[in-house]
Structure 1
Amino acid sequence: MNFAVGLKPLLAEARSMESLEKQLICPICLEMFSKPVVILPCQHNLCRKCANDVFQASNPLWQSRGSSAVPSGGRFRCPSCRHEVVLDRHGVYGLQRNLLVENIIDIYKQESARPLHAKAEQHLMCEEHEDERINIYCLRCEVPTCSLCKVFGAHKDCEVAPLPAVYQRQKSELSDGIAMLVAGNDRIQAIITQMEEICHTIEENGRRQKQHVGLRFDALYGILEERKKELLQSIAAEQEAKLQRVRGLIRQYGDHLEASSKLVESAIQAMEEPQMALYLQHSKELLKKITDMSKASMSSRPEPGYENMDHFSINVDYVAEMLRTIEFQTEPLGEDEGDGPGDGSEAAADEDRLDSLEVPEAAEDVGPRQKPASSPHGQH
């Protein structure tokens, strides 16, 4: 019997297990990962205990997980790629566990616990030929079988291959499948991390744009309030001027009425004077005062409609319509243009809206002004 041929699959399996063991070494303690195993955002794995030791050494002010006095975590640098990670208040205990690596460790330890010679001594026997070991593989039926089955049995017309070769090939395929699965999980984890960053960016951009729109509307509110204040001041100024004039006239008429009343009282008292000589001494002066009082001009009064304030009416329908048409811009602006409070493109758009709404009024005003210009041509 050729023992060298029988040892080749065992040596190949030992090399495969050694290669797998190298992938399961922690870069901190240089030993096989001890559970639980945590995965960093850079996709490298560490023992959680080792990661916690390094984290606490680089963040001496950070307390244990059980303390509630620490509102935030610290910084952790990956020992493999030196990528810096900002951890939350849970520290390394907030990192995600890599359950796939832990399961592979369990499988590896179970396989390593079995000695090679025990594996070599385990042989399955053929069910049809009890004294024959299963040592070949039927490629057509895809089942292990023995040499007698190939010579005399059910697989005599089938193509076969040595069992170790098929075993090594399928085990290599399984190992490649495991590596592919691990790589796929790493890619999925990277995609998840990227999508989480996208979510954070979306939230931040939405918050910034809400603040930007709020500031723009606050500026509009300020413009409306300022214009409202100016218009109200104009109304108040004319109101005060008219009131002062009318109140001045009221005082004039009041003074005239008071003087006329006193003159009437004096005239009545003079009428009651019994002595004619004494009456005649004062009657001429009294008659002159009455004549002057009656001739006094009190025709000054407010003209009709003086109290009317309707000329202060305003029409804000076109402004309201323009405000209702405010929409988001279809073309994105640069940072310098979008952040400025007096954006030129927005101002131009507002002017275009105002011009489009004011065109009918302008057309009405142009018509009458053009008529005098056409009349001389009609005379000629």
Structure 2
Amino acid sequence: RRADSDMSEFASIVERLERGEVPMKSIERELICPICEELFTQPLVLPCQHSVCHRCVRELLMPNHDDSLSTDAGSESSNPGSPRARGPSPSMEKLERLVRSGNPYSHSHRGDAGMSSPLMYECVRESASECVCACSCPPPPPPPKAQHEYVGPTTNFRPKVLMCPEHEMEKVNMYCEVCRRPVCHLCKLGGSHANHRVTSMSSAYKILKEKLSKSIHYLISKEDQVRTQISELEEMMRHTEENGQLAERHASEHFEHLFETLQERRTEMLRSIEQSRSLRVERLRAQVEEYQGMLENSGLVGYAQEVLKETDQSCFVQTAKLLHVRIQKATESLKMFQPAATQSFEEFVLDTSKEELLLKELSFSGVPAPPVIDLSRCRVYNEGLIHWRLSEDSLPTDHHIVEFRKLGSEEEQESGWSASEPVFGCSTVLSDLSTDSSYTFRVKSCRNRVYSPSSPEVTLHTPPAPVLSFLFNEKCGFSAERLQLSKRRDSVESVAGMSLLLAAERVQTGNYICLDYIIGDTGIAHGRHYWAFRVQPDSYMIKVGVASDSKLTEWFHNPRDTSSPRYDHDSGHDSGSEDACFEVSQPFMLVTVGMGRLFIPKASASAAGDHSSRVLPMPQRIGVCLDYDAARVFFYDADTMRCVYERPVDCSGTMFPAFGLLGGGAVHLEEFITAKRLSYL
């Protein structure tokens, strides 16, 4: 049955070869010896399932051994002129070649099925850690002189019985899952595989056969995909070649234009220099001739000397009058010698340093890379602070352009993108943004008048109301003993000290402990207002809310009144007693933040829907919106502008932002909240 199955599979392979489904090169590659790099001659299958030529193994390990077992009488070994018969080849060279090959082919028994009457030998290894093929199968490569014994040859397709290489008389009937190799029962009992996990040979056979079958079927099923990808890669190679040649032509054209321009300017300048040189030399030559005439007797001086000999007064005066004018000019020329032309050509000296710098910086790299908007540093209020960054390998840019548009109705989106003025840094502020609106932002970089593609778009939501600008107030209820205010009054920190120890003692004796409160220096008497802040992540407990001026004086002067903010309703347990004590007529601390969490009172109506839990992760930035006219206060995740909690408040009088701190902790107001107030100071 096995023989029939093998023949059937072999016939299937042949049919696929004939149909061209399996490339012949792939089959030929599996039939190449990794030592001689030629088609197998008398293939020998080693126990590690790798195949090598019988003669290669003989020459590698026993170069002086006669091949008395060879059955190919008419083979190339009988030909003294053949490469095989020239004596033993260097074994170390072949061994190094095999080691360098890194086991390029993993030949199975069936890989030699196409060979006619292959000789099969069982390679009995001297040590379980040695393998003649120096392949990647564990353990490490063998010593170069590992000895192997030959057993009788057979013409069967595979050995009938596979024996254990460590226990020669034992058949392999188990499979070591650690070493991934067949072993016998002695290997498991007391051999090198005693502590390894083994399984039965039948189980290993089924598992490996199933895996191999699935892998083969997967590869077969992906043949069309592979062919498609090969076609795509070949198409990409073709386009790459074409685009590369096109880029070369364009670059050559650009440089040729530069050369032509430089050549034109060079010709024009040389022509101007030549004309100026000729004119100057001509003028100087005429001046030389004039001066030489003064030295010659036949010249002006000689003529004047002859005139002086005239005794007739009338003739002398008539002649000497004009002659004197000429002599006078010559005399003045000698007194004020001035060359007729300059010898310097400074006006033709070129300063090409800027041009050389431009040529050195000349780049054909195309458009610059798009920037990336840094969301962690972006803020949107009535104004939008947009930050972005460039890739590390990007070239310097000339400027950037920020584009934005409001999301909403189709009319608003059809209005298109608005653009900022050129920005020469990596951040900018965009003004006049609408409240409670979503905006999409993107950035472009420009270099040499070429703009990059737009950055990935980001959408940010503006607050639901205009920004309330304020700083912390150190004059109303502020405890300098327990709270530390920054110099700019934009952050406050709770300082542990003796007062906290005394408060802890009062807790043990059954008395109360108090929070330390601080409010903003700007009040609200109408309209909707929004502010945002950050709570230090390791803060113990911070309460957030609003307070009216009508209650502040009363509360800060009566700390033992249970309605006073000096009295802490929160016992530290989730009993809900603090909610029972809370009344709408007592607007103050509404939300508790601390230990990385945000705690919402039980008696709450959430604008975002019902909460499955009162405990939420603490946002990185918390926003508060007070609607004075509607007498409601809202709390937001300031990064996503998601409302996490809302409730009614008693807006009597002027309302102020309020904070209460207990234990270690700090509150930092957002820069946009404090910017206007700081500019007034």
TM-score scaled by structure 1?
A: 0.37
Select the structure that is richer in strand: 2
Give 1 or 2 for the bigger CA radius of gyration. 1
Select the structure that is richer in helix: 1
